[in-house]
Amino acid sequence: MDKYAALALLRAVQNGETTPEDALLKLKTAPFEDLGFAKVDYHRDLRQGVPEVIFGQGKTPEQIAKIVAAVKARGGKDILITRMGKEAIPAVEAVAELSYCEIGRVGVACPDENRPSVGSVVIASGGTADIPVCEEAAITATVLGSKVTRLYDVGVAGLHRLLSKLDVVMSARVVIAVAGMEGALASVVGGLVDCPVIAVPTSVGYGASLGGLSALLSMLNSCASGVSVVNIDNGFGAGYLASMINRMEGIK
């Protein structure tokens, strides 16, 4: 049950269209549904303003499809599935309309054509190899109602590429800086903008990058103010946080 459904239920009680007892029963049964292998949290949207997101990695195609079908049956839209392999596409498409991004491994079941698109989230990548993580962040932020601008392959090895887009970066409400190797992009961006910067280290790089650990440590030690850091390759976490910040009232 999302916040709009809950509000409609409360108004129905207020207007005498339903009894308090019936409303209580609906609220009791609404919080989650036990599918055996998963407990689908229907109150996530009511509590946090965003429906539950399906983490596809480690789940079978059939499990993903059953969760999607359960959420769809409750009127769910824009059902986000992260780390979703291509092998799950047929199973999900059998129960719902699906939009799938192969490079980001992100699916959106029951896409909402009327979703809002507000503010400005800019996603900048150090290199082309970082794009899978960027796309996970971009699709997450888009589904959550943010307007997203992609600036790919603007890393510090050719700083002029980023500087040519300063007008875009400096007009953002939030910037997501995605980089592997030494992870310097986040500090550079943080020193240019007056908005929050969310740094995403990626596992891109040669041996001493240690699967993204070097970039993570560099970003954690950024000398630029206003830079926060999420986990290695966590595009979803960055996109989610960026959208929360972007949708806050009272910011530019």
- Domain residues of the chain, as ranges? 28-109, 118-246
Give the integer Cα–Cα distance in Å for 214 and 234.
15
Bridge partners of residue 34, in order along the sequence: 39
Name the nearest CA neighbour of 79 among 49, 109, 46: 109
Eight-class DSSP state of 97: -
Contact partners, residue 242, CB within 8 Å, separation at least 6: 121, 137, 141, 146, 174, 176, 198
Cα dihedral angle (156, 159, 161, 163), rounded to 10 degrees? 130
Give the integer Cα–Cα distance in Å for 64 and 92.
7
DSSP 206-247: SGGGGGGHHHHHHHHT-SSTTEEE--TT-HHHHHHHHHHHHT
What pLDDT score does 33 carry?
67
Measured CA to CA in angstroms, residue 223 lies from 124, 185, 215 at distances of 19, 12, 14
What pLDDT score does 252 carry?
57
What pLDDT score does 30 carry?
64
What pLDDT score does 2 carry?
57
What pLDDT score does 172 carry?
95
Helix, strand, or coil (residue 76): coil
Name the nearest CA neighbour of 84 among 110, 54, 111: 54
Query: At 79, which amino acid appears?
Result: I
What pLDDT score does 3 carry?
63
What pLDDT score does 76 carry?
83
The residue ranges of the chain whose pLDDT is under 70 are 1-5, 27-30, 33-34, 249-252
Eight-class DSSP state of 60: -
What pLDDT score does 43 carry?
73
Task: Supply the CATH classification number for the domain 118-246.
Answer: 3.40.50.1970
Give the integer Cα–Cα distance in Å for 72 and 81.
13
**With 0-12 CB in 10 A as exposed, 13-18 as middle and 19+ as buried, what is 82?**
buried
What pLDDT score does 41 carry?
80
Cα dihedral angle (126, 162, 176, 246), rounded to 10 degrees? -170
Work out the end-to-end distance of the chain between its first and last CA atoms, rounded to an integer number of angstroms: 32
